Chains A and B, each alone.
Chain A
Amino acid sequence: MTDMSRTGAMRAGLGGGLMRGMAGTVHHVMPILAVLGVIVALWYAASVGMNRAWTLDQAERAGEELSAGEVIADAMNQERPVLPTPHQVFAELWETTAGEPVMRERRGELRGNPRSLFFHAYQTLAPTLLGFLFGTTLGILLAIGIVHNRAMDMSVMPWAIASQTIPILAIAPMVIVVLNSIGIEGLLPKSLISAYLSFFPVVVGMVKGLRSPGAMDMDLLKTYSAGTLATLLKLRLPASVPYLFTSLKVAIAAALVGAIVAELPTGARFGLGARLLTGSYYGQTIQIWSALFMAAICAAALVALIGLAERVTLKRMGLAR
């Protein structure tokens, strides 16, 4: 019962966000479909081009002669193709989402079903959201510090920039291994990697946002003898809200990347990153591509949700006309 309702809620949440995103862009649908058609056609062409060598090789070994049509049909439907075709990827996506329960009974317990892509997505989304929350909070606090304190202004920004120049693939294993060695496992290490990637756009955006009020706006508060706190609450923070949302969209996508990357070095068993990794171990290209698509769908849905929150918030603040 719980598994059913959870799946339902998840689907409704994702679907709802996408539907609203689409409703606003109905008049753009035709161009999008045209581009999509071109992409799919190119994709099929590339699949056939890359997979036919294997087909021909197999046929030669078997001593068979294949017609051009047979070569194309085979190249489009291999079990482990170099590049899976769209229908293979979407069939896999469908089977591992609609075709599998998210939870299943195992050893008398209800556990996540590792055959369900929703379950893997959830394993990645949970640290993504937690890390996004950490990163956003840290980013806002750092930005407030930078704007109000000259020493922080001079010192924090270079470090924040330096932190982003270190490849996350180098940092992630160290963080995970170190935390594992002191007994912290699971959600937290992954979300720390997410936070590490997502705080940066928030810092940059919020510093700009908090500094966006003009000299006159600041002078006005001075004439009321307003203190630093009142200036922050009444002017700087409200003025920075549009900047915040722009940053959040970048941050949440970065958080998702962070969570996926965090699954790679430790050989995590669950999550989209784990799915990518096992796919590559066993040459399951279709599985890799379906996991990639799921990651992209998640990112799109998260960004769409923030876009929705942005519209609602700005409208309520009277900033959207």
Chain B
Amino acid sequence: MAGDPEYRMADPATQPPVIEAKNLDLTFQTNDGPVHALKDVSLQIDKGDFVSFIGPSGCGKTTFLRVIAALEHPTGGAITVNGMTPDEARRNRAYGYVFQAAGLYPWRTIEKNVKLPLEIMGFSRAEQEERVRNVLQLVDLEGFGKKYPWQLSGGMQQRASIARALAFDADLLLMDEPFGALDEIVRDHLNEQLLKLWARTEKTIGFVTHSIPEAVYLSTRIVVMSPRPGRITDVIENDLPKERPLDIRDTPEFLEIAHRVREGLRAGHAYDD
């Protein structure tokens, strides 16, 4: 189960991209005929990037994330994660995945939920304890380890699920609309915390959202996608400073980028119907 450490030792200048997708196609066969979830998607994500995927429902943003995670398999094109196939990368614990809902097991306490991947991956008991303590601290949930999920608010549950994804030290964090079900105040707070966590841990993050402000506030790059077939219509570099207080969202620079994202979405005829 030990990961192949070689890619990490490579010279930073020639370091391979974390994710490299070339002409990716994915067609689902459904009863109503084939659905082109992804068509000709090419994208490179480098180490330390925070990449947001934005677009309307059915644009393939979640599907793309699931392809990276080897939860779906492309029907055409090529993709590597850390230089490996997605399946290999997963076996090497390349990524932690955060779902739309927290998905904590109700019969496990928060602590035990965070331990779940560690138990499956065979970490020693002492190491499990240590890691649980660290990641719960990282998401500001110290003292809540013994609680059951239903005793926590939705935002806290989602933080616990982020802790669970961080517990085994994957360098890549894949997040599928993690804050979509939360109210705006909680969402702002979690966005702020996520940025701090990203700065502290230097993870590479792939983040699916359909909120333009969220995408602009969080990312270094914004990938705009459009449906039928799911494809990338624009990739916007976000050069806002790394340090982003919440009120950066009122600055002209922020609004300028948000405007470009909106234009990109419109260009993809995303809101035709």
**Residues of A with C-beta under 8 A to B69:** 223
Stretch of B32-40, B114-122, B232-240, B256-264 at the chain-chain interface: B114-122
- The answer to whether A318 and B120 touch (CB under 8 A), given A219-B71, A223-B97, is no
Q: How far is the CB of A188 from chain B (nearest CB, A)?
A: 36
In the complex, the chain A residue whose C-beta lies closest to that of B168 is A224
Please indicate which of the listed interface residues B95, B97, B107 has the most CB atoms of chain A within 10 Å of its own CB: B107
Q: Is A225's CB within 8 Å of the partner chain B? A: yes
How long is the Cα–Cα vector from A237 to B22 in the complex, in angstroms?
41
Convert A199-229 into 0s and 1s, putting 1 for each residue whose CB lies closer than 8 angstroms to a CB of B.
Answer: 0000000000000000011011111111000
**Residues of A with C-beta under 8 A to B108:** 318
**Residues of A with C-beta under 8 A to B100:** 216
Q: Is A53's CB within 8 Å of the partner chain B? A: no
Q: Determine if A319 and B99 form an interchain contact, defined as CB atoms under 8 angstroms apart.
A: no
Q: Determine if A319 and B116 form an interchain contact, defined as CB atoms under 8 angstroms apart.
A: no
Q: Is B144's CB within 8 Å of the partner chain A? A: no
In the complex, the chain B residue whose C-beta lies closest to that of A235 is B105
Q: Determine if A224 and B101 form an interchain contact, defined as CB atoms under 8 angstroms apart.
A: no
Q: How far is the CB of B270 from chain A (nearest CB, A)?
A: 26
Q: Determine if A219 and B120 form an interchain contact, defined as CB atoms under 8 angstroms apart.
A: no
Q: Is B109's CB within 8 Å of the partner chain A? A: yes
Query: What is the interface of chain B mostly: helix, strand, loop, or mixed?
Result: loop
**Residues of A with C-beta under 8 A to B120:** 221, 224-226, 230, 234
How long is the Cα–Cα vector from A224 to B141 in the complex, in angstroms?
23
Q: Give the contacts of A271-310 with B (CB-CB under 8 A).
A: none
**Residues of B with C-beta under 8 A to A226:** 120
**Residues of A with C-beta under 8 A to B106:** 318-319
Q: How far is the CB of A8 from chain B (nearest CB, A)?
A: 37
Q: Determine if B99 and A216 form an interchain contact, defined as CB atoms under 8 angstroms apart.
A: yes
Q: Determine if A216 and B101 form an interchain contact, defined as CB atoms under 8 angstroms apart.
A: yes
**Residues of B with C-beta under 8 A to A99:** none
How long is the Cα–Cα vector from A199 to B148 in the complex, in angstroms?
33
Query: What range describes how many residues of A lie at the interface?
Result: 20 to 34
**Residues of A with C-beta under 8 A to B103:** 216-217, 220
**Residues of A with C-beta under 8 A to B101:** 216
- The answer to whether A223 and B119 touch (CB under 8 A), given A318-B107, A318-B109, is no
- The answer to whether A318 and B148 touch (CB under 8 A), given A221-B120, A238-B107, is yes
**Residues of B with C-beta under 8 A to A321:** 150
**Residues of B with C-beta under 8 A to A182:** none
Q: How far is the CB of A240 from chain B (nearest CB, A)?
A: 11
How long is the Cα–Cα vector from A187 to B106 in the complex, in angstroms?
41
**Residues of A with C-beta under 8 A to B249:** none
**Residues of B with C-beta under 8 A to A32:** none
Q: Determine if A224 and B117 form an interchain contact, defined as CB atoms under 8 angstroms apart.
A: yes
Convert B81-100 into 0s and 1s, putting 1 for each residue whose CB lies closer than 8 angstroms to a CB of A.
Answer: 00000000011010111011
Q: Determine if B99 and A219 form an interchain contact, defined as CB atoms under 8 angstroms apart.
A: yes
In the complex, the chain A residue whose C-beta lies closest to that of B92 is A225
**Residues of A with C-beta under 8 A to B95:** 223
**Residues of B with C-beta under 8 A to A235:** 105
A-B pairs, top 3 by smallest CB distance, nearest first, are: A318-B148, A317-B107, A223-B97
Q: Which residues of B contact A (CB under 8 A)?
A: 69, 71, 90-91, 93, 95-97, 99-101, 103, 105-109, 116-117, 119-121, 148, 150
Q: Which residues of A contact B (CB under 8 A)?
A: 216-217, 219-226, 230, 234-235, 238-239, 241, 317-319, 321
A-B contact pairs, 28 of them (CB 8 A): A216-B99, A216-B100, A216-B101, A216-B103, A219-B71, A220-B97, A220-B99, A223-B69, A223-B90, A223-B95, A223-B97, A224-B116, A224-B117, A224-B120, A224-B121, A225-B91, A225-B93, A226-B120, A234-B116, A234-B120, A235-B105, A238-B105, A239-B105, A239-B107, A318-B106, A318-B108, A318-B148, A321-B150
